[in-house]
């Protein structure tokens, strides 16, 4: 590995998450996805609220899909726990809204270097994929 890659591998968890928070506050996500801390006083930077705007041409078009993201103590080496709050029916979402990241083909599995932002973009892409785009969804406003 070069020195930059080695440095990225050793960034402490909180610095990694602070960088993600700062990028989102500056407009990362382009209006298609967004996220922020659930509690601004959470010094562990563990619990996040997130939103995905349903992609055009899908059964979730123009819907705001709400999610909860929990970054555990081993994040970013270990994927965050992700759960839809908005009731959805996709092939990568299990009972209670839990996202099975291993089933998100557009992501290719979690690895260090990924971010909440890149994960949300992958989920949005997966919603727009051939296998999910026409899947009937629960009525708007339904929650898990």
User: Which pTM does this prediction carry?
Assistant: 0.90
Mean pLDDT by 10 residues, the chain (144 residues): 50 90 83 92 95 96 96 95 98 96 89 92 96 95 94
Q: For position 8, what pLDDT does the model report?
A: 52
Can you point out the beta strands (E) in 27-88? 33-37, 47-53, 64-70, 81-84
Distance CA 63, CA 140 (A): 8
With a CB cutoff of 8 Å and minimum separation 6, the contacts of 34 are 24, 50, 51
b/e string for 9-26 if b means 16 or more Cβ within 10 A?
eeeebeebbeebbeebee
């Amino acid at each position: 590995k070069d020195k930059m890659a080695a440095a990225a591998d050793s960034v402490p968890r909180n610095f990694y998450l602070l960088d993600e928070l700062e990028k989102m506050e500056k407009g990362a996500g382009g209006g298609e996805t967004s996220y922020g801390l659930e509690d601004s006083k959470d010094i562990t930077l563990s619990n996040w609220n997130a939103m995905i705007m349903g992609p055009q041409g899908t059964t979730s078009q123009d819907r705001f899909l709400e999610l909860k993201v929990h970054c555990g103590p081993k994040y970013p080496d270990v994927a965050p726990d992700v759960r839809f709050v908005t009731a959805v029916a996709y092939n990568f979402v299990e009972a209670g809204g839990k996202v099975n990241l291993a089933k998100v083909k557009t992501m290719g599995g979690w690895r260090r270097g990924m971010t909440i932002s890149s994960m949300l973009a992958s989920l949005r892409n997966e919603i727009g994929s051939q296998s999910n785009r026409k899947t009937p969804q629960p009525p708007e406003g339904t929650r898990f």
